[in-house]
Amino acid sequence: GYNDVNTRFGGLRDKLATMPKAPEKPDGYVYEPSDKLKPYFGDLKANPVFDQARQAFHKHGIPAAAFSGIVEDLYGPLAEKGLLGEPFNPLNEVKTFASELGLDQASAVKALTETDAFAKGLFTQLKDIPEKLKPKVEAALLGLTDTAEGNVLLRALSGRLAENGIRIGGDGNVAGALTVEDLKKLDNDPRIDPANRNHTDPAKRFDEDLRKKYDEAYARLQPANKTAW
């Protein structure tokens, strides 16, 4: 009986010895993404999510041979359903921005520099932001400059404000300063007239902040531009 039991347990030990095992260390898990998933993983050597996955697999004793298959079966269907976002690539964002707006490289760089300045200038003029939230609000606004669609949005906002005679500058300019041309456009704008406080059209009602900028710009520009008017 002993020999029979020992033989059976010996066979079990031999079987267990040949079964797949977890690697000695987490970095023993090796994964080469398929063509379908390559765009979503980026550089795995500097990917904290991938590093955490290896830690978790190692903790639970997942065999090294199963690692690639599980990752593919987990993320492959998500990619097919459009539930995964591709890693951020600044170069791709610049190319998309230039392509969608029909700009060459030099024009794209100039436009992106302008949207960056606009975003920074705009933030300096925002009001009623709680102090504790200012860093996050600033990060949210300036984060728009990281993507093609964000820069397109900022560019559109800048253009719309310019149509109304409001120009917002970034570093190196007086934030929100109005130019001579801006003032000429605003001379007959109903929003600078205190008599229009109760105008039936909200878009034409007196704007106290705009009037203040208008007066400040006149005081700043008129002495140096006596013949400009």
pLDDT at 102 over 50: yes
- Note whether 130 and 216 are same-domain residues: yes
pTM to 2 decimal places: 0.52
- Note whether 42 and 108 are same-domain residues: no
Q: Specify the higher pLDDT residue, 109 or 46.
A: 109
Query: How many domains would you assign to the chain?
Result: 2
How far, in Å, CA of 50 to CA of 54, rounded? Answer: 6
**228 inside domain:** no
- Note whether 68 and 102 are same-domain residues: no
How far, in Å, CA of 44 to CA of 53, rounded? Answer: 11
- Note whether 107 and 56 are same-domain residues: no
Domain that holds residue 152: 90-221
- Note whether 121 and 210 are same-domain residues: yes
**Residue 174: which pLDDT band, with cuts at 50, 70 and 90?**
very low
Reported residue count of the chain is 229
The 3-class secondary structure across the chain, one letter per residue, is: CHHHHHHHHHHHHHHHHHCCCCCCCHHHCCCCCCCCCHHHHCCHHHCHHHHHHHHHHHHCCCCHHHHHHHHHHHHHHHHHCCCCCCCCCHHHHHHHHHHHHCCCHHHHHHHHHHHHHHHHHHHHHCCCCCHHHHHHHHHHHHHHHHCHHHHHHHHHHHHHHHHCCCCCCCCCCCCCCCCHHHHHHHCCCHHHCHHHCCCCCHHHCCCHHHHHHHHHHHHHHCCCCCCCC
CB 97 within 8 Å of CB 152 = yes
- Note the pLDDT of residue 171: 43
- Note whether 55 and 157 are same-domain residues: no
176-194 pLDDT, tens digit each: 556 667 777 888 889 999 9
**43 inside domain:** yes
How far, in Å, CA of 172 to CA of 184, rounded? Answer: 23
- Note whether 69 and 103 are same-domain residues: no
How far, in Å, CA of 224 to CA of 13, rounded? Answer: 94
- Note whether 18 and 109 are same-domain residues: no
Q: Torsion angle of alpha carbons 100, 102, 104, 110, nearest 10°?
A: -70
63-89 pLDDT, tens digit each: 888 888 998 998 889 988 888 877 778
Q: Specify the higher pLDDT residue, 5 or 214.
A: 214
